[in-house]
Structure 1
Amino acid sequence: MSIKISSRSELSPFMVMDVMAKAADLEAKKGESVMHLEVGQPSTGAPLPARQAMIAAMDLPSSHGYTLTAGIVPLRRGIANHYKRFYGLDISEDNVMATVGSSLGFATAFLCCFDEGETIAMTNPGYSAYRNLMVAMGLKPLLIDLSPEDGWRFSRKHLDALDDMPDGLIIASPSNPTGVVMTRDELKGVAEWCDENNVRLISDEIYHGISFGVDTASILEFSPNAVIVNSFSKFFSMTGHRVGWMIVPDDLVDPMDRLGQNAVISVPTLSQIAATAAITDPDAISELEAHIDRYRRNRDILLAGLDQRLLNNVEPPEGAFYIYLDTTRVSPDSVDLADRLLNEAKVATTPGADFDPVNGHKALRLSFAGSEDDMHEAVRRVNAWMAEHCH
């Protein structure tokens, strides 16, 4: 007997997770040593004050119960103060909502802001989970193609050129996978276009804090109507805690809270306690800011060391911890290339098809979130493989 499965589940795979699974299989079943350049996961753990706060709370009964759906007050207040300290913005804690990672933040924003059949514009290349979540919810992704000749930059001119008006727009700065950081003028132009056209703007700011000599401005500097999605996963090195947050305008506070009440009840309490320490303790911030120099060194190790045929004149990323490569000098099929690098060189990478359904077969994303030793070893393995197989 065959029982129906919803068409909503017929999604494209999240390729980076598939690569992770294959790499884990090589490590667990065959005892292989794999260099992980596929996943955007810092090799460092949560900052010390966050770990200490979690340990101190472990024996308190209240630490193991529900919280308010929007999150514990110290966390929301700490996030609001973070925006005052780093951006000079006055944010009310009432407009801050804790989420189960940024992933649930995107899903919540899509469900609360749009109806089935509506269209959300996004850049191409862009984070595939946006696109896949939209499809699962009956929404229509509108892909805005960016050009490597323009440095993958996105601005108002792309929106002015649209034939059809979308209902929403999601942007990311710093960008995954390209590492581009939008300038203040670019952000301002996009925000003004959305407000002029009553288009709901969602800004993915989960890589804020990770940039190399350029400023990362928040879209809230330019529009009070935007929805911010952020996370403790990247800058705060707390991927496994699954804590994110949103900053939402007044008209979305109650709808998003009601959806959260029914969908998840609350974010895990101990993780909220750890996150509160991570974002409020000055020692935690100092520890986390020190990671940025390591990411910069990792980036430079890859850019200086990898075979130039693979790098193909790529520009250094301005933020996040990814390099997005044009692989046409090495292979016409980056899915096959990533598979061979994993199985033959034991280096895990992510095919560009995860980020661009049109031209992603010609691209590869490398993550430099790991350790310096791993970057050096990855360079050695990739170059040795290319010397043997690419002539």
Structure 2
Amino acid sequence: MALKQGRGSRIPSFLAMDVVAAAETLAATLPPEAPGLIRMEVGQPGRGAPRDAVAAAHRLLDASTAAGGPSLGYTQAFGLPALRHRIVRHLADLHGVEVSAERICITTGASGGFVLAFLAAFDPGDRIALASPYYPPYVNILTALGMEPVVLPCGPETDFQPTVAMLAALDPPPDGLILASPCNPAGTMLGADAFADIAVWCARHGVRVISDEIYHGLHYGPTPVTASAMEEAITINSFSKYWRMTGWRVGWMVLPDDLLRAVERLAQNLFISPPHLAQCVALAAMDCTDELEADRLAYRATRDDLRARLPAIGLDRLSSAEGGFYLYADLAALDADPALRDSRVFCRRLLEEAHVAATPGIDFDPVRGHDFVRFSYCGPTALMREVPGRIGRFLGRG
């Protein structure tokens, strides 16, 4: 007799990670003379943690192995006080927002932050709204926790962002709302007025805002708006993107006062504490501004190059990509093999034939995503410049 499985066992895969596996399998079989893979399937910066941050890790590891050296053991559940205070200064410098260090919780990546936030703020059966296309783990984590995602279909007409009108059409209002600005997969942002209008609506209707701010710092126009100043909101950030620390698994939240102790209890029980070494490296990374700003300018140049050259090969419907490092491309009008207008087919053949890894849009929008593909352009600049040529040849336009 088959044993029972929990609802968490039924969540779908994160397709971007499936593409990672397929790309790595292909890379292992390519002959030396074949063109190398260009990786555009995940939001992983082409370089690792900043140089001075890595040097700090070496010093800490050397000291920890010396007789009587510092132990890299458990920290407080909310993380190292020094890192929490440094984040307070960062928020003041970037956004002009003053928060207390007591409201900062260091997490095991942004993913750990979402689990803590959803568990502390909502109950099974609660309804949480979010724009579609969306970062897939939002929906998958909510579903695994017994909560109900309420999807708001968004397209280029609203820059892939939600509106107050969409929220007002929900009856009853949702219990929560996830905002992402810049968003994944489109890289679009809510303007200050639109963000404020949504915040006011949520406050009036008792809707808890969860603001995903992990692409803050990676903006190519106005600075993104933060929800950190909102009394009831939860903001979630990460060192993975701007600070290039994907594998170190460290992020943070800014919490409202009413959830501080609840999140702390959850963090103690679920994670004990974030990785000590990773927190120390994150603290050092926050002072590597010159190196990181050079990356931001390189991403902007790559974005501009792709947006200028992809239309010439038929990919002329692209998201505005005001921040982050993603382009969301519409395949519906592609003048090519009709089969390539399906994002799964497009991405599979693009990987196999052109050795470019990208993620099908159905990962981000199961209903309309067949028409879209996401390109992550945070890889090495020289490789990113090869992309239009490779895709053009793949489409018979090179």
Instruction: Give TM-score scaled by structure 1 length.
Output: 0.95
CA contact (8 A) 1:303 1:311 kept: no
Q: Distance in 1 between matches of 2:158 and 2:142?
A: 27
> Greater CA deviation, 67-76 or 378-387?
378-387
1:196 to partner: Cα distance: 0.9
SS at match of 2:77: coil
> Greater CA deviation, 4-13 or 224-233?
4-13
Q: How does 1:123-142 map to 2 (within 5 A)?
A: 123-142=131-150
Q: How does 1:293-372 map to 2 (within 5 A)?
A: 293-306=297-310, 308=312, 310-330=314-334, 331-372=340-381
CA contact (8 A) 1:188 1:219 kept: no
1:270 aligns with one of 273, 277, 292: 277
| Alignment-derived partner of residue 73 in structure 1 | 81
Cα shift readout 1:295-324 (whole Å, capped 9, x = no counterpart): 011112222222545422324311110000
Q: In the superposition, relative to structure 1, how do residues 315 and 267 fare at CA in structure 2: closer, same or farther (>3 Å)?
A: closer
CA contact (8 A) 2:20 2:41 kept: yes
CA contact (8 A) 2:105 2:253 kept: yes
What residue identity is the alignment partner of 1:299? R
Q: Distance in 1 between matches of 2:5 and 2:70?
A: 40
| Alignment-derived partner of residue 47 in structure 2 | 44
| Alignment-derived partner of residue 242 in structure 1 | 249
The answer on 1:55 being equivalent to 2:58 is: yes
SS at match of 1:91: coil
SS at match of 1:64: coil
CA contact (8 A) 1:181 1:214 kept: no
1:7 to partner: Cα distance: 2.6
Q: Distance in 1 between matches of 2:78 and 2:324?
A: 27
CA contact (8 A) 1:351 1:360 kept: yes
Q: How does 1:107-256 map to 2 (within 5 A)?
A: 107-221=115-229, 223-256=230-263
What residue identity is the alignment partner of 1:251? D
| Alignment-derived partner of residue 4 in structure 2 | 4
> Greater CA deviation, 231-240 or 192-201?
192-201
Task: Mark the runs of 5 or more structure 1 residues left unpaired by the alignment.
Answer: none
Q: Distance in 2 between matches of 1:201 and 1:298?
A: 32
The answer on 1:378 being equivalent to 2:378 is: no
1:87 to partner: Cα distance: 1.4
What residue identity is the alignment partner of 2:385? H
SS at match of 1:85: helix
Q: Distance in 1 between matches of 2:283 and 2:314?
A: 42
What residue identity is the alignment partner of 1:57? L
Q: In the superposition, relative to structure 1, how do residues 23 and 80 fare at CA in structure 2: closer, same or farther (>3 Å)?
A: same
CA contact (8 A) 1:63 1:269 kept: no
1:271 to partner: Cα distance: 0.5
1:199 to partner: Cα distance: 0.9
> Greater CA deviation, 240-249 or 368-377?
368-377
CA contact (8 A) 1:174 1:216 kept: yes
Q: Distance in 1 between matches of 2:57 and 2:78?
A: 20
Q: Distance in 2 between matches of 1:164 and 1:363?
A: 31
CA contact (8 A) 1:309 1:329 kept: no
1:23 to partner: Cα distance: 0.0
Q: In the superposition, relative to structure 1, how do residues 310 and 113 fare at CA in structure 2: closer, same or farther (>3 Å)?
A: farther
| Alignment-derived partner of residue 104 in structure 1 | 112
1:235 to partner: Cα distance: 0.5
1:388 to partner: Cα distance: 7.0
Q: Distance in 2 between matches of 1:80 and 1:266?
A: 20
Q: Distance in 2 between matches of 1:100 and 1:29?
A: 34
Percent identity at matched positions? 41
1:4 to partner: Cα distance: 2.8
1:16 to partner: Cα distance: 0.3
1:64 to partner: Cα distance: 2.2
CA contact (8 A) 2:267 2:273 kept: yes
1:22 to partner: Cα distance: 0.2
CA contact (8 A) 1:179 1:320 kept: yes
Q: Distance in 1 between matches of 2:111 and 2:48?
A: 20
1:358 to partner: Cα distance: 0.9
- Cα RMSD over matched residues? 1.6
CA contact (8 A) 2:186 2:319 kept: no
CA contact (8 A) 2:311 2:317 kept: no
1:150 to partner: Cα distance: 3.1
Q: In the superposition, relative to structure 1, how do residues 379 and 309 fare at CA in structure 2: closer, same or farther (>3 Å)?
A: closer
SS at match of 1:365: strand
1:203 to partner: Cα distance: 0.1
Q: Distance in 1 between matches of 2:227 and 2:331?
A: 33
| Alignment-derived partner of residue 289 in structure 1 | 293
Instruction: Give TM-score scaled by structure 2 length.
Output: 0.93
1:88 to partner: Cα distance: 1.4
Q: Distance in 1 between matches of 2:319 and 2:17?
A: 26
Q: How many residues align?
A: 385
CA contact (8 A) 1:35 1:347 kept: yes
